[in-house]
Structures are given as structure tokens and as C-alpha cells.
Chains A and B, each alone.
Chain A
Amino acid sequence: MTLGSELKEGLKLSYAALKANKARAALTMLGIIIGIVSVTLMGAAISGLTNAFNNSISSIGADVLYVQKWPWGGGDQEWWKYRNRRDMKIDYADKIRKDATLLSAVAPVVQRLGTLKYSNRVANNVMVEGTTSDLSYVSNMSFIEGRFFTDIESRGDRPLAVLGSDVADQLFPNQDPVGKTVKINGLTFRVIGVRSKQGSFLGMFSLDNLVIIPIGQFQNIYGTHFHPTIEARVVNKNDMGDAIEELRGIMRKIRGLSPYQEDDFSINQQDLLSNAFDKIATIIGGVGFFVTALSLFVGGIGIMNIMFVSVTERTKEIGIRKALGARRRTILAQFLIESSLICLGGGLVGLAISYPLSMLVDKFLPTSMPVSLAFIGIMISLAVGVVSGIVPALRASRLDPVDALRYE
């Protein structure tokens, strides 16, 4: 008997057997359905979060360095050591730009939430960023319309503003914002550009709800006690290591550190953030999959139980088949196919449930179910079928034909 015809015959038999016990098959499937739904939803949540994270940190830029007091991802020292560090100063940017050879643009950035007004329209909780003209080069900015402020405008601290697309939509729903004047905390600014859409960070807060103004104007509004992040763009991404070392040397010189003193600043980059995220994602994923694997395990035990019942019920039939010349392999295949069919059915129904469910969850938490995840779900359910079916199937295949025929 060839493998193909054995498979076909086994499928036919299993289908008939399942049809004969519909309620039982459905209840057994339920265990697998629940397992597959939880596994795929878990996977969808993690892959969705990862996608969202990757999209979000791409706005940070892989070739941008951030000089700050605090390290991203927590660092490896006591938190108070970081807290006791000296603050960053705005003029570091100019000093770094003067000495650096591997950095193309350096900009200080200060941030604060503020309120924007245009005639009777108000935008609350807008991120107000003060910086220099270099920022447009650091973060490779593009514009829906208009432009960024120039070096001269920036150094002259002209009252000019570049809007994020959300703010522009909110204040100027049906008109061109460029050339209009807005009020930020009472001071008047002329809009010169609207930045193109950046999206949101992890789907939680918008990166387009901001306004960028020259740093001197920022100090006019909020005072001088805000400490900036120094953002610098590396000329060549391949020189990242060298660029970090160069930047470190310059910063140590600015800070006046002796060779025996530790750095009292952190040079952050995208990698640090993604490393930290990867760590968290691995932990969430590990715990999540452990829990969901448990539910699949329970479902598998259910299958095994039912398969044992099925083998016992059909002992006589197995005896007949053996008397007619069925080999062990044939009987084994018949029962393995049956348990795999239950699980495959459960897997497919599970996917049919978890796919729309993941779309629903996506409204609250970024979620995505790639084809590969669906495929993995199907493979997992098949594997559960084979693993939980193998012991009952082996028992069936090893039945003694005489005993099996005599069984009533």
C-alpha cells in the first residue's frame, strides 16, 4: 500500500469517524481552538508592538547621536550617579560642531508642552521645541509646504515657527498656514513651514503634535533653565564607532574631565533603545508563550484522552482491519490522521476567531498578524495533533488481532 493511498484512505476514514461523533469532535477541538487563539493573539500583539516600535524609532534615525545626562535603556550604574551629573548646555552644540570631523550637523534641542492659538482656535499640550537651523539636517526633515528656518534666522532668534502636521490641521483646517501668525503662550510667531507627517510613537502619542521655534525664542517664553539634548548627525554611518569616540573626546574636553574621571554624560543612539526594547519584548514574549503553551498543552491532553476512547471503542474494528491485512503502519496512520484532523480543524477555527479579534485589539494596542504567524499557528496545531495522537495510535497499531477481534 503506497503512502499516498494510505493517506487518502486515512483521511476518508478519519472524516467519517469524526462525522459520526460530531459533538465529541467539536468539544475536543475547543481546547485547541482556545490554545491557538491565545497563541496567535499573543504573537500578533508582540509582532504588532515590534512593528510599531521599529516604525517609531526610525524617526529617531539610525545615524543620529544624542548627548544627554541620562543613558537610554537604564544604563548600568546607580540612578543617583546619573542624577548627580552636570546638565547639558546649549553652547555645547557650537563647540562640538567646531571640533568634530565625523559629524555633519549638531543641534541643541529643548522641549516643553505649551499652548498654540490662531484667531479663536486653540491647540493645547503641543510639544514646543526650541532648536537651531541644524536640526533640519540632523533629522533629515521634509515639509508638506514651506521650509525650516535658516542659520541666520536661527542665530537672530527670529519669531518664526515650523508646525507639525497635526497642529497645522488643528489650527488651520481649511487654509494654508504658511504666512499666518500664531501665538505661543502669548508671543507671536509667523508660520514658515509645515513638517510632513511622522506618525506616532508606539501608537500612543503623536509625533506631529509639535511646533519648532528658534532656541532663543524658546528661552524668551520659558526662561533659560531648560537643559538641552545635543543631537548630532554622523557623516557616514559606517564610521559610527569612530564618530562616537570623537564626540566623547570633545565632550570630555568641554567638561574638563581628567583622564581618570568617568564620563559624566551619555551618548545615546537608536541601538540602545532597540536593545532595551528587544530585552523587554523577549521577556513579554517568553512569559506570554509559556502561558499560552500551557493552554495548548491542556488542549493536547484532551485530544489524547479522546483518542484513547476512540481506540478502545473501535478495538473490534481494528481487529477486523488487521484480519483483512492492515499493517501496523496503516492503523497508526489512521489514528494519527484523525487526531491531526481534529487539531488542524481547531487551528483553522482558532485563526478564524483570532484574526478579526486582533483587528479589534489593534484599536487599543498596535497588533498585526502576518501570514507567517498564521502559518506557525497551523503548524503548531498539527504538531499538537501528532504529539497527542501518537501514544493512542501506537496502542491501536500494536493491538493483538486475536484479542481485538474478540473484543465486544
Chain B
Amino acid sequence: MSGQKVIELVKVNKVYDMGAEVQVNALKDISLVIEKGEYVAIMGPSGSGKTTLMNILGCLDTPTSGLYLFDGVNVSDMNDNELAKIRNQGIGFVFQTFNLIPRSDALHNVELPLIYSGVPVAERKDRAKKTLEMVGLGERVHHKPNELSGGQRQRVAIARALINNPSIILADEPTGNLDSKTGDEIMLFLEELHKKGNTIILVTHEEYIAEHSRRIIRIRDGMIESDLPIEKNGKVKVHHDAEKAASSIGVKG
């Protein structure tokens, strides 16, 4: 690990106004550091605040209070367009339901982030083709999503996530809609990406999937329940609780 902080959350809160003066505190004082090259899994049961945390990490949403530094830049009070730029260039999303544009072929789907960052046509076609070749879909560039298998669709989505060389890859239940064999293939692929030095954040509720990562952050009731590194054999090496993780910020890096 280089020790360079990619993500730093300091006492982040998210409060949802449900109307009628009912407020839901989805995230409570979350503090968290993720460094370049890490492979982190975020786990938690439904209603734990895991999705809210992912939305904030993915710059799809902003915290109610607290500080979020992405690559050292404060994104907590950015406006829509500034966030769009961070999402475009800093984050690669991989979704459970693939979220490909149904009417566009694989190539155009992979091109999209480049279109939004204004890369000229020739260059982006070239890059999109190369990235699709890298995920093993060089023969299927002109297939529409409905002409591809689930695993192939997810690989298109991964190619799309990779194309802009993002600082993090944010994978939300990437195997949730796949059979276990195809799911394993995708996890192997993410493993390869990690080895190449990509920072990966995996959001899942499956222990088996989370164990592919190197560090598991467990969320419960809007708080970090535990934050544990994993040994290569999959066993937990050290255990320290949320309080410790929070207080360790500032010492790390």
C-alpha cells in the first residue's frame, strides 16, 4: 500500500426527513479512511445504512454533516455538476443489476463516461474497444445488452467502470444477479484488478463474497460495528472496533 488516502470520512452523518417531523438517522458519525490500492468490503444487513454509505462514497449523495475528502478534495458540499465530474472521472460503478443502457451496444455503453468527459470520438472508440478486449469481450462490441449473458453484461459494466481510470471502483453486490459460477468469475476478475493496483470497494451482504477482499467494514444501525483486515487465508487477523477505527484517523497515512 502506498499509504495515500483516497477516501476520508470524518464524522459523517446522514439524516433523512421522512415528513411529519420524523427523522431517520441513517448514518451516525461515521469516520473512515480508505487508502490507494485497498480492497475493502462493506457489509451489513438491510436497513444498516450500508446503501446510504455507498451512495455518499459514490458521490451520488452528500452527507447532512461531516467531512468527505475524495482524493484530498472536499466533496461534502459540492453541487450537482461538480459531483457529476467526480463521478465521471474518479469513480467506476459496478451495479448488481448491471445498469447498462438497453438500446445501446456494448461499445457505446463503455464509451459513455468518455463522452461525458469530452474525449474525441476516435480516441474514445479506440479506448472502449481496448477495454472491452481486456474484459474478454473483444468479439462482442456491437452486441446489445439483451444479446449478452449475465456475466458478459457485468463484464461490460466493469469495462465501463474502468474506462476513465477511476480512483476507486465501487461495486454494489456485483454478483447478486449471477449464478455462483459466473459470480466466481467476476470475483476473480475483481481480484485481478486489485492486483493491478486498483482500489476496490465492495458492498455486499454475503460473507462468502466479502471474504475476497482484504478488509471488511461491518455497518449496523448507521454505525461502524467492526473494521477488520483479513489474512490471505481468509481469517481475521486483528480485531478492533469502530471507536478505534475512528480514533486512528489522522495517525494513518
Contact = CB atoms under 8 A, between A and B. Distances in A.
Nearest to A408: B97
B115 A9 contact: yes
Contacts, number: 67
Interface string B92-105: 01010001110110
B55 interface: yes
Contacts of A401: 60-61
A248 interface: no
Interface in B145-166: 160, 164
Contact of A320 (B55, B101, B115, B118): B101
A402 B60 CA distance: 6
Contacts of A326: 84, 116
A19 B41 CA distance: 42
Contacts of A2: 118
Given A401-B60, A405-B60, A324 B87 contact: yes
A5 interface: yes
B99 A405 contact: yes
Nearest to B161: A324
Contacts of B58: 323
Nearest to A19: B103
Interface in B54-69: 55, 58, 60-61
Given A317-B101, A401-B60, A325 B84 contact: yes
Given A1-B115, A323-B93, A330-B116, A20 B103 contact: yes
A402 B56 CA distance: 10
Contacts of B93: 323-324
A17 interface: yes
B112 interface: yes
Contacts of A69: none
A337 to B, nearest CB: 15
Given A5-B118, A402-B60, A402-B61, A324 B103 contact: no
A402 B55 CA distance: 7
Contact of A17 (B60, B95, B103): B103
A322 B60 CA distance: 8
Given A1-B117, A402-B55, A325 B101 contact: no
Q: Which of A326, A328, A329: most chain B Cβ within 10 A?
A: A326
A1 B124 CA distance: 13
Contact of B60 (A5, A16, A323, A328): A323
A325 B80 contact: no
A330 to B, nearest CB: 7
B174 interface: no
Output the residue of A9, A325, A326 with the most chain B CB within 10 A: A325
Contacts of A316: 99
Interface string A319-345: 111111111111000000000000000
Residues of A in contact with B, size category: 20 to 34
Given A1-B116, A317-B101, A325 B60 contact: no
Interface in A296-355: 316-317, 319-330
A325 B113 contact: yes
Given A1-B116, A17-B103, A324 B160 contact: yes
Contact of A16 (B55, B80, B103, B116): B103
B115 A327 contact: no
B118 A324 contact: no
A329 B104 CA distance: 21
B81 interface: yes
A402 B54 CA distance: 10
A326 B81 CA distance: 8
Contacts of A329: 81
B213 interface: no
A394 to B, nearest CB: 13
A317 B98 CA distance: 12
Contacts of A17: 103
Contact of B89 (A1, A320, A325): A325
A322 B103 contact: no
B112 A327 contact: no
A401 B61 CA distance: 8
Nearest to A323: B93
B85 interface: yes
A322 B99 CA distance: 12
Interface string A1-13: 1100100010000
Interface string A384-408: 0000000000000000111001000
B105 to A, nearest CB: 11
B131 interface: no
17 contacts: A1-B115, A9-B115, A319-B99, A320-B99, A321-B101, A321-B112, A322-B84, A323-B60, A324-B87, A324-B113, A324-B160, A325-B85, A326-B116, A327-B84, A328-B80, A329-B81, A400-B61
Interface of A: 1-2, 5, 9, 16-17, 20, 316-317, 319-330, 400-402, 405
Given A325-B84, A325-B87, A402-B61, 14 more contacts: A1-B117, A5-B121, A16-B103, A20-B103, A316-B99, A320-B101, A321-B101, A322-B60, A322-B84, A323-B93, A327-B81, A328-B81, A330-B116, A405-B95
